Amino acid sequence: MIKKGSIYKFGSFTFRVSEYYLMKGNEELHLRPKTCQTLQYLIEHHGNLVKKDELIENVWSDTVVTENTLTQCIKEIREKLGDNSENPRFIKTIPRVGYKFIAPVKKIETQQDFPFQKSRHNATEGFRISKTAAGIIFSLVLVAFAIFFFLWNKEPKFNFSNRDWILISNFDNRTGEDVFEYALRTALEMELSESKYVNVVPKGRVMDILNLMKQDPGKRVDRELGREICLRDGNIQLLVSGNLYKIGNTYSISVELIEPVQNTIIKIFSEKVNDQQKILPVISRLAISIRRELGESMKSLPKVKGSYELVTTPSLKALNFYSKGYHYMNLFDFDRAQYFLKQAVQYDTTFAMGYALLGFAELWNSNLSKGKYNFAKAASLVNGLSEREKFFILGANAVYNLGDNKKGIEYYELLLDIYPDDFWGNENISRAYLWNGDFKQYRKYKKVCMKLRPNYFVNYSDNGLYALYQDGNIIQADLEFSHALELNPDFPFEFPYLSNAFLFWMNNELDSADNKMSDFLSFQINKLLPMSRITSRWFISRFYFYEEKFDEGIKLLHESIELSKQQPDSKLLPWSEMELALVYMEMGKTTQFESMIKSVIVNSVGIARVQALGWLAVHYAQTGKIASAIKLLDELKNENRMMPFGIMQPPLRNDLNRAKRAFTCQIEGEIALAEKDYTNAIKNFNEVIGLVPSSGIPALTALNPRIRWAALRSLAASYERKGEPDLAWEAYQRIIDEKILVITVPAASPVWIKTEMSLNKAMKENI
């Protein structure tokens, strides 16, 4: 039996493939696993050009990465080798193509022979013993075999592979001390999550399974329930159950590794301490023992120290409050989550992950400035954190505080390069790509999220939104939303409840749609998150305007304005006021429209102000006030401020510029139409239509379909007045065909009637 491996030598460096480490003389240099694999691939193809796609395909075949991940690996390798990209000694960059390892490489094959590998002849020559001795030897062999068999079967056989899943249940706390109730499970989860070998099932996925089991998703998970969850999930290889006892002043902590199918204990680890403050270090040591037992490489395991350094807080109380906050975050109970997370960072003012999670809780509760502060605070505390925590916090700060999606994507890619199965890393990078307008990458990472949490209702809601706004497929959207509601009947967002009403609406089954809307207003709306209570009123009001129930619609919009005023930091107030202002414009109530839209202009910045200026300028151009329209257009072009950022309101610079361009073209088109310059008007309106395609998921800050509807209507009017009824018909037909406009533009229904009237008039004049 021969154990083989390869050693590569180049310059003053030695690289051992089988052991994955790089030596410079006697100094061991640490490289991440994927970075090691990248270096190995380049070395094995030294002297040859290796294309970027080839490297990504061979090193990252098991996960989704971008070219930036490869760039980071090459950068890390160069730093360790002391190489310079401009004057390389080892790795030469071939611009836009790939890389070439240019240093001479010497490969050494090694083999380590096991004993008793003499030739058959020599073995026979040495066999000169009596029959009695042979019998004794045979007996000893049998005894040795029996001992070996006993030791081999002493513990149950268990196979655990790289990136397999483990579930950690709540500790059985028999001490009577509440501080341990949540903290120990979270501590062990955080410790084991630092492993690149072990995957810890996230709390959210546990709650998904509990939902399927028709149990309270917030239920405490003991050993028995944990085993049921493992069996129901079908993809969890190991259950870890803990126990904590106290006899006198001594704490006894133990963890059991349980194979869930056979319900057999694989291994038990335990320690005793006489001080409460020593329990978290014990958890750290137990986590390392578990990782070692499951087959993780010794080189990847941290050295066990006396202090507790891996989890971001040494405070049991802080960790206990953090655990409760995280628990309520997963239940979408952000008020309670905020309360407990604030307690966590009060007990430990350097608790980086506590601040990060508090930032998300504040954002979901529409407390934007507080959310931004907490993300910034967390980012200031990342020095000394693990890579998993550091890259997650920096990514969250970049996206949700600074609004820098590109930088956020870079951090999340670094996180996922090391931990490809990190659910929130995949979820957050998918949203960053979405807000950057890259739907392909959004879908790619969203598919990973679906795989990691196949029963998470938000995944299906997101698919529904994608189907609704990107594909314009209301039927598929309704299916996705319905599945989301099956998984969680207490969904905190409005779309799953309203999608069925939208479907009835699209099919002109207005009575059924009306009943759905009424039921929602009576039983569901007050159960939603604060922001959804506001935005849901916009959609229902649009339906009422469609049915010409103007009083009911206006009442709902006034309610949305009042709710927005109660949450001043949410920044939804200008959008609520603009919704009502545009309804007044479409109803022909000029005085009310002008009064409210001017209020939005005064009290908003960024895209909201651009839209308000744009709609007032369009109104002035259509009513012959050309000079006033031009003045507003100049003001619009000079609006360069970015609006505050919310959890669903990304402040994208490209969206601001696109909004300015779209409204500039619309205003100039309306002016040209008023001056009978039909060619220029048609050119401008077509540009607006191109800037606001029928597909695309609208965020609250992005251009909504209303401007597309206005451009199509004005384009049709331009063709009418130019005497081209066929082209006018095509423009009107596009409005009719794009039924998604009906649920985003209240005036769409009256427009259809006006369309027929306008077409009849145009056709008569043409005859």
| The pLDDT of residue 138 is above 80 | no
| The pLDDT of residue 525 is above 70 | yes
pLDDT recorded at residue 326: 93
Cα dihedral sign, 741-747-752-757: negative
Mean pLDDT of 388-392: 94
| The pLDDT of residue 741 is above 60 | yes
| Alpha carbon 63 to its chain's center | 16
Q: Which helix (H) or strand (E) holds 113?
A: strand 106-113
pLDDT-wise least confident of 8-12, 137-141, 175-179, 728-732: 137-141
How far apart CA 356 and CA 368 sit, in angstroms, is 13
Between the two ends of the chain, the Cα-to-Cα distance in Å is: 96
Sequence-distant contacts of 276-282: CB under 8 A, at least 24 apart: 276/177, 276/179, 276/251, 276/316, 277/314, 277/316, 278/251, 279/180, 279/184, 279/244, 279/251, 279/253, 279/316, 280/187, 280/308, 280/311, 280/314, 280/316, 280/319, 281/306, 281/307, 281/308, 282/253
Percent of the chain with pLDDT over 70: 82
The pLDDT mean for the chain works out to 83
How far apart CA 244 and CA 34 sit, in angstroms, is 38
Smallest Cα–Cα separation from 363: which of 647, 573, 644, 650?
647
Count of CB atoms situated within 10 Å of the CB of 757? 9
How far apart CA 74 and CA 55 sit, in angstroms, is 11
Q: Which helix (H) or strand (E) holds 114?
A: none
Q: How confident is the model at residue 260 (pLDDT cuts 50, 70, 90)?
A: very high
Q: Which helix (H) or strand (E) holds 534?
A: helix 530-546
| The pLDDT of residue 392 is above 90 | yes
- Number of separate helices (H) and strands (E) present in the chain: 32, 14
Mean pLDDT of 50-77: 79
| The pLDDT of residue 225 is above 90 | yes
How far apart CA 251 and CA 278 sit, in angstroms, is 9
**CA angle 302–194–303, rounded 5-degree value:** 10
Q: How confident is the model at residue 364 (pLDDT cuts 50, 70, 90)?
A: confident
| The pLDDT of residue 528 is above 90 | no
Over the stretch 713-739, which tens digit does the pLDDT of each residue have?
A: 999 999 999 999 889 988 888 887 776
Mean pLDDT of 690-699: 62
Cβ neighbours of residue 486 closer than 8 Å, sequence gap 6 or more: none
Mean pLDDT of 203-232: 91
Q: How confident is the model at residue 181 (pLDDT cuts 50, 70, 90)?
A: confident
How far apart CA 698 and CA 662 sit, in angstroms, is 15
Over the stretch 419-461, which tens digit does the pLDDT of each residue have?
A: 999 999 999 999 888 877 788 898 899 999 999 999 998 899 8
More confident residue, 740 or 124: 740
DSSP reduced 3-state for 100: strand
Over the stretch 261-290, which tens digit does the pLDDT of each residue have?
A: 999 999 999 999 998 888 999 999 999 999
| The pLDDT of residue 127 is above 60 | no
pLDDT recorded at residue 461: 86
More confident residue, 81 or 627: 627
pLDDT recorded at residue 152: 44
Mean pLDDT of 88-110: 83
Q: How confident is the model at residue 508 (pLDDT cuts 50, 70, 90)?
A: confident
Q: How confident is the model at residue 352 (pLDDT cuts 50, 70, 90)?
A: very high
Both tokens of residue 241? 């159950």
Q: Are 164 and 260 in contact (CB under 8 A)?
A: no
pLDDT recorded at residue 143: 53
How far apart CA 535 and CA 704 sit, in angstroms, is 14
How far apart CA 477 and CA 467 sit, in angstroms, is 5
Q: Which helix (H) or strand (E) holds 25?
A: none
pLDDT recorded at residue 447: 92
Over the stretch 17-28, which tens digit does the pLDDT of each residue have?
A: 766 668 887 677
